[in-house]
Amino acid sequence: MSLALSFSHLGPTGAPAPTAIERWPSYDQRHPWLPRRRGWLSEPVFIQKAATPRSNRWRCEVNYRPVNFQQKFGLFSEQWMPKVVAEMNDYQFKVARLQGDFIWHDHKDTDETFIVLEGSLRIDFRDGAVHVSAGEMFVVRKGVEHKPYAEHEVKLLLIEPRGVLNTGQEGGEREAANDVWI
């Protein structure tokens, strides 16, 4: 009993507990006419679980469901707007629908991986082009200028470090919001 009181400010693992939002009245408040007996009486503490940041709780939860690409593509229809579906270390996996011409750009600090899931993608380079079909992938090297093109809509998976913009450093109206999860 006294141990429970002594360590009441600690969580079950010994880590500091989340902010307490409500305490029962203290022993002195409940029994003001009795001698102080603090030190052995357990005083329950209500813990506000929501005090834990939502993002932290989310990260602590174990999710055993696979990411289903077909299901993810069913959630959006806009083109050239990559959506994050998973992360691995500092890398993000993004699904995207592309159709038509993009702009010339490069990524100064990182390679960029294109995995085509449906349709056919052409990536133009200043000195050539590569055609990537469903079931194929291609890695564009760091600093190499490229311009994706798809005659018909193509569905693909991009793999790149967190924070990489779709337009590289070019900016402009084709720049998509970053870190948008779906």
| 130 vs 50: CA distance, rounded Å | 50
> Which of 85/121 has CB closer to Ni ion?
121
Mask for 80-119, x = binds Ni ion (CB under 5 A): --------------------------------x-------
Total residues binding Ni ion (CB under 5 A):
1
What are the backbone angles phi and psi of residue 120, rounded to the nearest 5°? -140, 130
Minimum CB–partner distance for residue 144 and Ni ion (Å): 9
Minimum CB–partner distance for residue 136 and Ni ion (Å): 17
Under 8 Å CB-to-CB from 1, ≥6 apart: which residues?
40, 41, 42
Minimum CB–partner distance for residue 155 and Ni ion (Å): 17
The CA-atom distances, in angstroms, between 66 and each of 42, 62, 70, 107, 143 are 45, 12, 12, 30, 33
> Which of 119/168 has CB closer to Ni ion?
168
Residue number of the CB atom closest to Ni ion: 112
| 161 vs 84: CA distance, rounded Å | 11
Q: What is the contact surface with Ni ion in residues (CB under 5 A)?
A: 112
